[in-house]
Structures are given as structure tokens and as C-alpha cells.
């Protein structure tokens, strides 16, 4: 999505940066892990396919993605927009007649960054940004029935189950905002440009 192509969202524990070409090699390495593929219901891609996918994410106005940076993770690069890469957070605007509804998902791929509240903060930041800047009012999460950790995370954020899709073994959960989503989410955040 072009709207977030040069935007960095800064929280207490995380930074959300737009998914750029420089992130693809690390992202591709994560997606070589069979457990991550299963948890994200993804298919393995070649590195070339992953670069092509990054371009489609950048250009598709129905998809918004950020790479999640762990602000406490020591960086193995001097680039501040790659240091501490921990996962990603995504929105899919799947309803052509209603852009106020988005499917949301999160992946914390780095084991060192798990169970430290990063996924919760990244989701809060993404929802606050989407509500304020993209007009999104309803968020839907589709979670595998066996993914107990993700089900608990979304419940903790206030999502409630509204449907089960047995054929895919999925639980569909939703969270809707009527007023100020950022205030409701109690999410302090600042915005920075992606300088490069």
C-alpha cells in the first residue's frame, strides 16, 4: 500500500516500518521454517518470488504491511530500519464495498522476540493507524483452531468470536470501534519518515 510506503510508527517496544526490498532476505529466511509456514497458512516461495511478492504488497491498495522491529533486539545491521527485525503485521481490505473492514494478522518470527508483548503492541499500533489514517472501524482475525497462543492474544485485545469455519479449522474473531480507536486501544505512538 502506497499510503504507508514512507511511514514508521513508533511504540514503546516496537517500531513498524514499511516492508521494503531490504527486508526480503530476512523475511524469506523466516518463511523457510515449516512451523512458521504452518502457523501462517503460507506456501514456500523462492527468493525471487518473495521479491515479487514484496512489490505487490507495496503497490496493492487492498493490502497494508509493516515489518515489526523489536526495539530491544541488538541489531546485526547499521540500518535502523532493519535492525531488530522480529516479524510483520498485515491488513487485508477484502470487502470491495466496505473499506472500513480489514482482516488483520500478526507474525513474530524471531524466537527471542516472542512472549514479550511485541505482538500485542504491534496489533494495537496497526489498528490505531488503520482507524486514524485509513478509516478502518472493524478488524477481523482468522485464526487456526489449534493456535491457542494467537486465540488468547486476540481475546486479550478484546476480539470476540463470531464464526467458526470447520472446513479450514478456523476461528473468526472481530473487534469494532465506534469512536476514537487510538484512545480505546490506549496506544501511545509517534510517526517518523522512513529515511533512505
Cell triple for 58: 507495496
Q: Any idea of the CA torsion for 95, 96, 101, 103, to the nearest 10 degrees?
A: 50
Checking if the pLDDT of 78 tops 70, the result is: no
Question: How many domains, in total, are found in the chain?
Answer: 1
pLDDT digits (tens, 9 = 90+) for 97-113: 899 999 999 999 999 99
Q: What is the pTM of this model?
A: 0.91
pLDDT digits (tens, 9 = 90+) for 48-68: 999 999 999 889 999 999 999
CATH number, residue 143: 3.40.630.30
Please state, for a pLDDT cut of 70, what percent of the chain lies above it.
94
pLDDT digits (tens, 9 = 90+) for 80-101: 778 899 999 999 999 988 999 9
Cell triple for 60: 496493492
| Residue numbers of the domain that contains 82 | 2-193
Amino acid at each position: 500500500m502506497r499510503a504507508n510506503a514512507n511511514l514508521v510508527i513508533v511504540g514503546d517496544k516496537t517500531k513498524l516500518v514499511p516492508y521494503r526490498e531490504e527486508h526480503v532476505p530476512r523475511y524469506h529466511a523466516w518463511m523457510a521454517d515449516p512451523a512458521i509456514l504452518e502457523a501462517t497458512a503460507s506456501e514456500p516461495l523462492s527468493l525471487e518470488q518473495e521479491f515479487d511478492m514484496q512489490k505487490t504488497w507495496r503497490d496493492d491498495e487492498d493490502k497494508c504491511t509493516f515489518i515489526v522491529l523489536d526495539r530491544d533486539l541488538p541489531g546485526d545491521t547499521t540500518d535502523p530500519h532493519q535492525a531488530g527485525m522480529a516479524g510483520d503485521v498485515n491488513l487485508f481490505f477484502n470487502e470491495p464495498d466496505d473499506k472500513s473492514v480489514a482482516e488483520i494478522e500478526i507474525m513474530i518470527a524471531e524466537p527471542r522476540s516472542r512472549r514479550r508483548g511485541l505482538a500485542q503492541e504491534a496489533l494495537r499500533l496497526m489498528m490505531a493507524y488503520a482507524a486514524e489514517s485509513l478509516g478502518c472501524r472493524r478488524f477481523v482475525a482468522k485464526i487456526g483452531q489449534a493456535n491457542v497462543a494467537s486465540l488468547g492474544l486476540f481475546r486479550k485485545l478484546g476480539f470476540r468470536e463470531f464464526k467458526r469455519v470447520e472446513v479450514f479449522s478456523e476461528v473468526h474473531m472481530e473487534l469494532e470501534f465506534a469512536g476514537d480507536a487510538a484512545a480505546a486501544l490506549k496506544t501511545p505512538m509517534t510517526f517518523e519518515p522512513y529515511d533512505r
